[in-house]
């Protein structure tokens, strides 16, 4: 219990930072430790450090400009280390395994979801001072690498860090949307915040636990998302629904009240306000 509380405190401290300085890999390890509280995080931190150092050494050996490499060179060095040296790959065989969204288990198994693998790429790139960010691409986590002079490439961390040109992006969009008429939009190229990357990671955990009917576990994942983004009204509403499913009416009221306090005026807010009143009557 004490270890879990210390992890919560560390996560809350990270959540209070400016988004730009959040270490997504460190935060992801803290999130992973909720499911493995007895694990020594230092082991995994040392592994991350080894990855970063290997990327640096590979870049030196290749003779690239360490201060301003081309984005294609960044991708090449990251793939050389993460894919060729450390053997990371997307888990296509057991994609829905919860371990694929737990960074500690991803490091141990060298397999994971796009966002978990993407966090490793982002960490390794930023450790070199390179520009790296997740993209707001629907249904599949992608990474944008950017040089100091503004040149960019997009890579797919789930598929060996392959470069994603426009046609490949278009085909991927049609696949994830299951819509042959789907077309790329400017929003799909926009970077997401570090908090959003972590929220996406935990959303995978929450979704899989709900699919397994592990509502309490899903609620735990949601609680960590609320620590990271406490003003997100939707998370409060979702927590209320989960508490109701578990029969935790008092907690459901508190969560729904949190939603009402944060949601904009509208029919949804009024509807949940009515639910709060009905639940209060049931509690008395």
C-alpha atoms less than 13 angstroms from C-alpha of 191 in its C-beta half-sphere: 18
- Is residue 146 pLDDT above 70, yes or no? yes
Token representation of residue 238:
């979702």
Please check whether residue 233 is in contact with residue 263, taking contact to mean a CB–CB distance below 8 angstroms: yes
What is the per-residue pLDDT across 50-107, written as a single tens digit (0 to 9) for each?
A: 999 999 999 999 999 998 999 999 999 999 999 999 999 999 999 999 999 999 999 9
Q: Which residue has the tokens 């997100």?
A: 232
High-pLDDT (> 90) share of the chain, %: 90
Beta partners for residue 57, in sequence order? none
Beta partners for residue 162, in sequence order? 156
Q: What integer best gives the mean pLDDT of the chain?
A: 94
**Lowest-pLDDT range, 2-6, 137-141, 250-254?**
2-6
Please check whether residue 137 is in contact with residue 157, taking contact to mean a CB–CB distance below 8 angstroms: no
Identify the DSSP state of 161: T
CA distances, 87 to each of 32, 103, 143, 145, 160 (Å): 21, 15, 19, 21, 9
CA angle 73, 78, 79 (to 5 degrees): 100
Domains, the chain, in order of start with CATH, read 2-189 (no CATH), 194-283 (1.25.40.10)
Residue 38, pLDDT score: 65
Residue 37, pLDDT score: 74
Q: Which residue has the tokens 């944008």?
A: 144
DSSP 92-151: -SSTT-GGGG-HHHHHHHTEE-HHHHHHHHHHHHHHTT-EEEEB--TTS--EEEE-TTS-
Please check whether residue 160 is in contact with residue 117, taking contact to mean a CB–CB distance below 8 angstroms: no
Token representation of residue 34:
């909720």
């Amino acid at each position: 219990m004490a270890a879990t509380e210390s992890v919560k405190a560390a996560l809350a401290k990270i959540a209070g930072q400016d988004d730009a300085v959040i270490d997504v890999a460190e935060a992801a390890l803290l999130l992973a430790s909720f499911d493995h509280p007895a694990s020594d995080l230092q082991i995994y931190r040392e592994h991350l450090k080894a990855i970063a150092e290997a990327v640096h050494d590979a870049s030196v050996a290749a003779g690239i400009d360490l201060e301003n490499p081309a984005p294609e060179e960044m991708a090449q060095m990251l793939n050389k280390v993460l894919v060729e040296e450390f053997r990371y790959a997307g888990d296509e065989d057991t994609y829905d395994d919860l371990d694929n969204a737990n960074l500690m288990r991803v490091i141990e198994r060298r397999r994971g979801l796009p966002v978990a693998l993407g966090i490793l790429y982002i960490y390794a790139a930023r450790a070199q001072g390179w520009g790296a960010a997740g993209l707001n691409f629907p249904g599949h986590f992608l990474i944008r690498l950017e040089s100091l002079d503004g040149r960019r490439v997009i890579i797919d961390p789930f598929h060996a860090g392959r470069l994603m040109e426009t046609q490949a992006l278009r085909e991927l969009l049609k696949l994830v949307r299951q819509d042959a008429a789907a077309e790329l939009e400017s929003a799909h190229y926009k970077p997401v915040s570090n908090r959003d990357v972590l929220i996406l990671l935990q959303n995978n955990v929450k979704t899989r636990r709900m699919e397994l009917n592990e509502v309490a576990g899903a609620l735990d994942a949601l609680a960590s998302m609320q620590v990271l983004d406490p003003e997100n009204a939707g998370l409060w509403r979702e927590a209320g629904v989960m508490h109701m499913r578990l029969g935790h009416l008092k907690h459901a009221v508190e969560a729904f009240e949190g939603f009402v306090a944060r949601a904009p005026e509208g029919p949804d807010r009024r509807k949940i306000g009515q639910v709060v009143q009905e639940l209060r009557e049931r509690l008395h």
